[in-house]
Amino acid sequence: MAGRRRVTGSSVVLLCLLLVALVACGGRSTADPARAAVQRVLDRRSAALLDRDAAAFAATGVRTGFDRLRAVPLAAWSYRLGELKRSGATATADVELRYRLAGYDDGAVRVARTVRLGRADGTWRVTSERPADGSGQQPWDQGTVRVVSGEHSLVLGVGQSTEALRGYASLADRAVPAVSDTWDSAWAGRVVVVVPRSLEGMAGLLGSPASSYRGIAAVTTGETGAPADAPADRVVVNPDAYGLLGAFGKQVVLTHETTHVATRVHTTAATPLWLSEGYADWVGYHGSGRTPADTAPELARAVADGDVPDGLPADGDFGFTGDAGELARAYESGWMACRLIASRWGEARLDAFYRAVGAHEERDGAVEDAMGEVLGTTPEEFTLRWAAYLRAELG
């Protein structure tokens, strides 16, 4: 018949191969209907959490998370379903949770979670949710989250009193303008502080052994070199070590960590730790009036004994699990290097040097090029000047 293309047997085979990913040749769909059903229940769960609808949330399964998250200001919350494993009336789902804290996260925080579900009366419901293997916990995994909002800060605490969290917010509210007065590049001007119950809680949030952070008062999480619309960093406090500090030490720690938040965009794989940690300490102690010997006691003792370092500390010298004295000297050495740049070349040049190092495409040559372009010196000359500076200020 004119105008009609003849369909051969090979054409039928080809059509079946093209459609096999969606529909079998026999006409039966190969997609697991449970996937769509599970995604729908996760979507309803997300909507109920954002709407603060306890009844709707409970209808999707266990409501523990709802109660623990009640005080957390959420701007967004959603799940993306990955692999789904079914066994009769139960299922295990690998999901990506995406959420944003209102007023603090410009981009979504993404974390891997494992969700278990059960089916009854033809309906899937969540029976549990936990961090995926190898992933850190979220604060609500550890208990009910208390929240205190400061002028420039949001403090999330588990196992902490509201009064204690207000203390953290007060310190963070002083840290933010102190950083803005020193760091001359634009940043969000706000900080999220997470205070777990203990060192073990801190380790759980970071997904690492507690021994890795024993004696460390706080750390900052976040992707270095990330774009400006990335999620806000989290300053995670070790309340065991932080609680041993005096008022001045507590302020220095939070200002130090807030500096990491502010400089995140300009801190990349090219930035050595002596610069990123030294600069954060330099901002933390800025304007304190404390002498170098007061601020760098371990390094001062070494210099007094004639043990002047012959080079700036390597990244490996900043390991948390090493000797405490060596770790202190590494931080103090980085601080003295930044202090030297600020005093010799000026604070604006110190900021420019920091940005120039981070803008380098790779670690090799980053410090050398930035020193030449911004400071008009070489690493060799700078190291000699730095060693002489240690002798003069700490000897």
pLDDT higher than threshold 50 for residue 1: no
For the segment 46-61, the average pLDDT, to the nearest whole number, is 98
DSSP string, 15-68: HHHHHTTTB-TTS-B-S-HHHHHHHHHHHHHHHHHHHT-HHHHHTTB--HHHHH
User: Do 139-261 and 33-135 have the same topology in CATH?
Assistant: no
Q: Which two tokens stand for residue 284?
A: 């933390």
Q: What is the pTM of this model?
A: 0.89
Specify the amino acid at residue 228.
A
**DSSP annotation of 374:** I
Q: How confident is the model at residue 226 (pLDDT cuts 50, 70, 90)?
A: low
Whether residue 193 has pLDDT greater than 50: yes
The top-level CATH class assigned to 139-261 is alpha beta
Q: What is the model's pLDDT at position 27?
A: 44
Assign 229 a pLDDT band (cuts: 50, 70, 90): low
Whole-number Cα distances in Å, 189 to 202, 232, 260, 356, 372: 24, 11, 12, 22, 31
Going from N- to C-terminal start, the domains of the chain cover 33-135, 139-261, 268-395
Q: What is the C-alpha separation between 84 and 70, in angstroms, rounded?
A: 28
Give the pLDDT confidence score for residue 6 in this predicted structure: 40
Give yes or no for residue 373 having a pLDDT over 70. Answer: yes
Contacts of 381 (CB under 8 A, 6+ apart): none
CATH of 33-135, picked from 3.40.50.970, 3.10.450.50, 3.40.50.300, 3.40.228.10, is 3.10.450.50
Phi, psi of 32 (to 5 degrees): -80, 115
Over residues 3-45, the pLDDT tens digits come to: 433 434 444 343 333 333 433 344 444 567 899 999 999 999 9
In angstroms, rounded to a whole number, what is the distance separating the alpha carbons of residues 330 and 342? 19
CB-CB contact of 366 with 388 (8 Å): no
Over residues 68-84, the mean pLDDT reads 97
> What was the pLDDT predicted at 228?
63
- In DSSP notation, 85-128 reads EEETTEEEEEEEEEEEETTT-SS-EEEEEEEEEEEETTEEEEEE
pLDDT > 70: what percent of the chain?
90
Residue 132 exposed, middle or buried by CB count within 10 Å (0-12, 13-18, 19+): middle
Q: Between residues 23 and 372, which one has the greater pLDDT? A: 372
Distance between start and end Cα atoms, the chain? 103
Mean pLDDT in residue range 148-166:
98
| pLDDT at 12 (0 to 100) | 39
**3-state DSSP call for residue 76?**
strand
Predicted local distance difference test score (pLDDT) of residue 252: 98
